């Protein structure tokens, strides 16, 4: 079911500061930037080998990332796992009683299909399933 780690999402208060650290500071290049209006977030993807670091800046304080920053401060927000068939993966997890935030996929960065698993069922870690377009 799981192919590999697709990306690690890091919540930041200011994406430009994040890009300065991860980009200029660590030598990573930003491959893609996008605002995902439905999730109220600006994103920047920085490839690292076969995976990516995704910087997340909330566009609204009441967004999931905004609430995360208010409660926990900047840091790792989620781990995204790549799947080939997100609908089948969600059905399988639901059958195994894994708590889901998303019952059906939504559109993510770069036209991906994404769905989140509830941290209460994943040992406190917010997991995201990602199916590439």
Q: How many domains does one find in the chain?
A: 1
Kindly tell me if the per-residue pLDDT of 1 is higher than 90. no
State the residue range of the domain holding 90.
Answer: 2-131
The pLDDT score that the predictor gives to residue 55 is: 98
Distance of alpha carbon 76 from alpha carbon 18, whole angstroms: 13
pLDDT 10s digits, 29-53: 999 999 999 999 999 999 999 999 9
**Chain centroid offset of residue 21 CA:** 19
Tens of pLDDT, residues 88-130: 999 999 999 999 999 999 999 999 999 999 999 999 999 999 9
Is the pLDDT confidence value at 12 over 90?
A: yes
CATH number at residue 75: 3.10.180.10
- Is pLDDT of 15 > 90? yes
pLDDT recorded at residue 80: 98
From the list 51, 63, 71, the residue with the least C-alpha distance to 9 is: 51
pLDDT at 24: 86
Q: Could you tell me which residues come within 8 angstroms of residue 60 by beta carbon, excluding any fewer than 6 positions away?
A: 40, 66
């Amino acid at each position: 079911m799981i192919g590999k780690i697709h990306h690690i999402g890091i919540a930041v208060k200011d994406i430009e500061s994040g890009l300065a650290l991860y980009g200029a500071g660590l030598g990573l290049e930003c491959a893609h930037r996008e605002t995902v209006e439905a999730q109220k977030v600006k994103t920047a993807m920085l490839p690292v080998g076969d995976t990516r670091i995704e910087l997340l800046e909330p566009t609204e304080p009441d967004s999931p990332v905004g609430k995360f920053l208010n409660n926990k401060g900047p840091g790792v927000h989620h781990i995204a796992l790549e799947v080939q068939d997100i609908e089948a993966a969600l059905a399988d997890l639901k059958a195994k009683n894994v708590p889901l935030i998303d019952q059906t996929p939504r559109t993510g960065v770069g036209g991906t299909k994404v769905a989140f698993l509830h941290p209460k069922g994943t040992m406190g870690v917010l997991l995201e399933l990602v199916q590439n377009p």
